[in-house]
Structure 1
């Protein structure tokens, strides 16, 4: 659907449930993005993929695919899409850890933001990020996201309290990026 030299984004389908299930139950992967860190059965994941990632009218979810290897390496979504107010929230998980720190997340979000602002004509995209996820914060800032707020000590992880940072970017800010 959308592609760059290294990656493509394609719609999530039922066959992605097994791969997503592996990522969803990998505590190292989820510790950076998931509040609850629950363990899920394959049935739970299949239901989630079908009812939330594929069929929800207020979200659009895409697998991030390494073009060279033809390997799904993560997932990115626009969620809580509000057509009236032209805004949405974005999320991203790079599930294949060997791809961490190599710019794939930034590349995927660039494709997603292009789609959100240029095709869907959204006005604003927001996200939440855990304060200890410094790599992600750096990527978001480099894409033009601005910190808009902080939920202080809203996450207890590894014996410590952490903030959840709210960030946002406007269509006009992305156009100037």
Structure 2
């Protein structure tokens, strides 16, 4: 989705940036993991297919994707952006007849960052982005039954279990965004900064040049 191709969102722990070509190699290495393939219901792809997927996520009108960065590491001019990647968060517009409905996915791929609040903050930031920029009024999350950590996180965020599919071994959780929930989400995420990613990268390149100068 082109709407977020120049968007940078900064929270307390994470920064969300558009999924670009420079992220693909690291992402491809993540998705070689059988565990991540199972948790995300994904098939292994070749590197070329992964680049095709990145272009699809950028261009398709029904997908919105951010790469999750460790904000603290990313602030260090000596560290490349790809080295700060910890996961991704996605919105899929699954029903053309109901454009305010979105399926939400979150993946913290780096084990050292799991269970430390990175996924929760990224999810809340993405929900606020979906509400304000995409006019989402209903979120769904479809999670494997054995992914108890993700199920618990979404329930803590206020999602309600609506169905269980034993065939696909997944549970569907939903949240309707009424005025009170919208106000609460936006208030809780009032600290998030929405910036121009191009300007941030230009400033970052300047910092790196200065850090590497003799």
The number of equivalent residue pairs is 166
Misfit runs of 4+, over 3 Å: 81-84
Q: Tell me if 1:171 matches 2:184.
A: no
Which of 50, 54, 63 lines up with 1:59 in the alignment?
63
Give 1 or 2: higher helix fraction.
Answer: 2
Q: Distance in 1 between matches of 2:95 and 2:172?
A: 18
Question: TM-score scaled by structure 2?
Answer: 0.72
Q: Distance in 2 between matches of 1:23 and 1:9?
A: 18
Q: Tell me if 1:17 matches 2:30.
A: no
Partner of 1:159: none
Give 1 or 2: higher strand fraction.
Answer: 1
Q: Tell me if 1:100 matches 2:104.
A: no
**Larger RCO (alpha carbons 8 Å, 6+ apart):** 2
Q: Tell me if 1:3 matches 2:7.
A: no
Q: Tell me if 1:116 matches 2:121.
A: no
Partner of 1:157: none
> For the pair shown, which has the larger CA radius of gyration, 1 or 2?
2
- CA 1:81–1:164 in 2, change beyond 3 Å: closer, same or farther? closer
Question: TM-score scaled by structure 1?
Answer: 0.86
Partner of 1:72: 85
Task: Spell out, residue by residue over 1:6-52, the C-alpha distance to the aligned partner (whole angstroms, 9 max, x if none).
Answer: 11111111111111101111112232222x5x33211111111112x
Q: Tell me if 1:145 matches 2:142.
A: no
Partner of 2:72: helix, strand, or coil? coil
Unaligned ranges ≥5, structure 1:
155-162
Q: Distance in 2 between matches of 1:44 and 1:29?
A: 17
Q: Tell me if 1:47 matches 2:61.
A: no
Partner of 1:69: helix, strand, or coil? helix
Q: Distance in 1 between matches of 2:131 and 2:30?
A: 28
- CA 1:152–1:89 in 2, change beyond 3 Å: closer, same or farther? same
TM superposition shift of 1:143:
0.6
Q: Distance in 1 between matches of 2:90 and 2:117?
A: 18
Please tell me the root mean square deviation across aligned C-alpha atoms, in Å: 1.7
Counterpart contact for 2:103–2:141, Cα < 8 Å: yes
Q: Distance in 2 between matches of 1:149 and 1:82?
A: 18
Q: Distance in 2 between matches of 1:119 and 1:80?
A: 13
Partner of 1:32: 39
